[in-house]
Amino acid sequence: MTFRDLEGKVALITGAGRGQGANHARVLAEHGVNIAALDICEPIPNLYATASQADLERTVKEVEAAGARGLALKADVREEKQVKDAVSAALEEFGQIDILINNAGMAALDSIHEMRSDVLDAMIDINLKGPMWAAKYVVPGMIGRRSGKIINISSAVIGSGHAMLSHYVAAKHGVTGLTRAWATELAEFGIAVNAIAPATIKPEPDHGSYMVIGLGEAIDMDKDAAYQHFSGLVNLPGFYAEAQDITDAVVFLASGNARVITGHTLHVDCGQATR
C-alpha cells in the first residue's frame, strides 16, 4: 500500500525512547516524516524501568538514518509545564506539528483492595492526563492551519475484562472517550482524531513491548512466558500481536489514506473485542 500525504510532515511522538513508540518513529521516518521524539528518561517509583536518555537519542539517530529530521525531547507527560516546553521546542525546531501520537503509557498490577495510591496517580497521569496535556499545546497550531492528525494509543483492555489492572483499564477507557470528544470538538478545524486499541505486544529487542517485560517481572515470568500468558488470557486462538502490527495502523491513520476517518477506535487486538 502507498501511504499518501506523509512526506515532509512533522510528528510528535510521546514515549518514543523505545518500544512501540520508537518503532512508530522509525517507520514514519522511512515515509518522510520528521520526528519530535519525547520520553521521560528517568525512573518512576514503583513502576518498571522507563527509557533512558541513550534510548531516546538512539531513536533520533535511527530517524536520521532513515533520511528524516529528528529531535530528542526529555519530558514527563504527567507534568503540564514540561509538556508545554517540549512542544515549544518542537515548534521552534520544525515550525509546526502535523501529527500527534499520544503513545506514552505504562501499566501496573494492583488489586482494588491493595491499590497503591502513588501507582493509581501514575496510571491516570501517564495514560490519561498525558495525552490531554500534549493535545492542549499541539492543537492550537493545528487549528490555525485547519488540519492535523491526533492518534491516541488506547488498549485492547477496553474490550474485555481484566483483573488487577483496574486503574490502567479505567485510564484507557478514558482515552477512548476523549478521542470521541476531541473528534467532535475539532472536526470543524479539519483535525482528525482517532485511537488504536492494541493487543499484548511481543517483547522483542529494541521495538517490542517493555510493558510485557515489566508486568512479567511482577509475577515472576520471563518475557516470553509473560507474552504467552497475557496474550492467551483474551486473544482469539492463533492470533498474536507484534509492534509492527500497531505501527502499520499508526501509519495508516496518520496518512491521507485515512482522510475521512475520525472519532474511531481501531482495534488491533487479536479479536479481544469479541469477548
- Do 198 and 153 form a contact (C-beta atoms < 8 A)? yes
3-class DSSP state of 37: strand
Count of residues for the chain?
275
Describe the strand order of the beta sheet including 10-14 as a list of residue ranges: 70-74, 34-39, 10-14, 99-102, 148-153, 191-198, 265-268
Whole-angstrom distance, CA of residue 122 vs CA of residue 106: 8
Q: Which of 137, 168, 210, 227 is catalytic?
A: 168
Mind spelling out the 3-state secondary structure of 73-84? EECCCCCHHHHH
DSSP 144-156: HHT-EEEEEE--G
The distance in angstroms from the start CA to the end CA of the chain is 31
116: left (phi over 0), alpha (psi -120 to 50) or beta: beta
Task: Mark whether 168 is an active-site residue.
Answer: yes
Residue with C-alpha cell 488487577? 164
Cα 71 from Cα 37, distance rounded (Å):
6
User: ∠90-9-80 over CA atoms, to 5°?
Assistant: 30
Catalytic positions: 168
